[in-house]
Amino acid sequence: MKKEEVDRCQVQQWYLKFKSDSIKTVFVELPETFVQYLLDDSGPFLLPVSVTDDDALPNRVHKPEDKEDFVVSEGL
């Protein structure tokens, strides 16, 4: 597949033509520094701490190794 073909699949390329048949869409211009942060593969992608200093994703990551009753069964 050519780059031009892939680019034509981007929502900003077809949305105006199919606006009446599509869900409401809002385009948000992102700062270049933020785009570079998202594209940077040098480290983990971390969500920022919220303004109230709470974890951005509290209790959403399941870590079975933290459970005392977690048992790995082999050979089933």
Tens-place pLDDT, residues 38-73: 888 787 777 666 655 565 555 555 555 555 555 555
- HSE-CB of 43 using CA atoms within 13 angstroms: 4
Give CA separation, 33 vs 20, 69, 73, in Å: 34, 44, 46
Q: Is residue 15 part of a domain?
A: yes
Q: Is residue 59 part of a domain?
A: yes
Q: Is residue 20 part of a domain?
A: yes
4-51 pLDDT, tens digit per residue, is 999 999 998 999 999 999 999 988 899 999 888 888 878 777 766 665
Range of the domain at 33: 3-66
Higher pLDDT, 65 or 3: 3
Q: Is residue 14 part of a domain?
A: yes
Q: Is residue 34 part of a domain?
A: yes
Q: Is residue 25 part of a domain?
A: yes
Q: For the chain, how many structural domains are there in total? A: 1
The model's pTM is 0.41
Question: Nearest CA to 61 among 40, 36, 44?
Answer: 44
